């Protein structure tokens, strides 16, 4: 498998995906999402790959968000399609993959980056990682499943606070709230994930796949459809135009009523 934005390394029964856009803090653009889709599908179809680990290149960022310049001028319809296609191509794909996926969060996991990590079956973070959903500061909401998966992991109250304040939390708070499963030193991140993968590999692949499907069956899909609709509607607002323009111009947004 040869890609422009990601790296694949298969060692034994473990497939390691590295998002390799360090100059862009590994931001998710359309091309990267499409490459990740292909990579996950290919690894799932490889009978030798029993666990997948995904991480970001460098030590600054897992994924520091979506590439805002790509969609700053989208219409309501285009915004809805962005969320719907992204969820179908990548985020829902990962969540329902029969092969377990571990997110190795090596730095900033913001916006679409945190949504990517939350779509994985569980998460391990380095002790200097920072996580958050800053979308409301741009005049939009999380559109890749963030409004659904975050409450499932940390509870409604904490999710409301994180999304409405657009703030970041550190690894210790993420661990206490259940957003991540483990916190380790940066140099131990991948080895620790590989150790957990080794324990999974000892178990029945059929049973692992069935367990994933059974656990996911307890969470409905109506919320995701509502998120896509609401996300798209944001693209028709003045707040969205101001929020994204301010971000691209590297200034603080001046929303009406402030």
Q: Which residues are catalytic?
A: 115, 135
Structure tokens at 139: 């005049």
- Give the distance, in angstroms, between the CA of residue 167 and the centroid of all CA atoms in the same chain: 16
The residues with which 185 forms a beta bridge, in sequence order, are: none
C-beta contacts of 253-257 below 8 A and 24+ residues apart: 253/137, 253/138, 253/139, 255/139
Q: Which helix (H) or strand (E) holds 154?
A: helix 146-154
How far is 235 from 98, CA to CA, in rounded Å?
Answer: 34
H helices within 21-145, ranges in order? 30-45, 76-86, 92-95, 112-119
C-alpha dihedral, 93 to 172 to 211 to 100, nearest 10°: 50
How far is 255 from 258, CA to CA, in rounded Å?
Answer: 6
If we measure between CA atoms, which residue out of 124, 113, 140, 88 comes closest to residue 246?
A: 140
């Amino acid at each position: 498998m040869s890609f422009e934005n990601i790296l694949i390394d298969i060692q034994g029964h473990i497939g390691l995906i590295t998002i390799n856009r360090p100059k862009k803090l590994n931001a998710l653009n359309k091309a990267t999402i499409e490459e990740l889709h292909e990579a996950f599908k290919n690894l799932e179809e490889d009978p030798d790959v029993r666990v997948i680990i995904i991480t970001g290149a460098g030590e600054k960022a897992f994924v520091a968000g979506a590439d805002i310049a790509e969609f700053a001028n989208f219409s309501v319809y285009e915004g809805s399609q962005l969320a719907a296609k992204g969820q179908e191509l990548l985020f829902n794909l990962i969540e329902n993959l029969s092969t377990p996926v571990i997110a190795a969060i090596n730095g900033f996991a913001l916006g679409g980056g945190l949504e990517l990590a939350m779509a994985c079956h569980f998460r391990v973070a380095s002790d200097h990682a920072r996580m958050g959903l800053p979308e409301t500061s741009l005049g939009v909401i999380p559109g890749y499943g963030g409004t659904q998966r975050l409450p499932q992991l940390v509870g409604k109250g904490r999710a409301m606070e994180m999304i409405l304040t657009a703030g970041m939390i550190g690894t210790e708070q993420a661990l206490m709230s259940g957003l991540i499963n483990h916190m380790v030193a940066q140099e131990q991140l991948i080895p620790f994930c590989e150790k957990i993968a080794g324990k999974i590999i000892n178990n029945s692949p059929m049973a692992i796949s069935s367990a994933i499907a059974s656990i996911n069956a307890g969470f409905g899909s109506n919320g995701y459809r509502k998120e896509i609709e609401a996300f798209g509607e944001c693209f028709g607002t003045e707040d969205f135009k101001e929020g994204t323009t301010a971000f691209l111009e590297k200034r603080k947004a001046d929303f009406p009523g402030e």
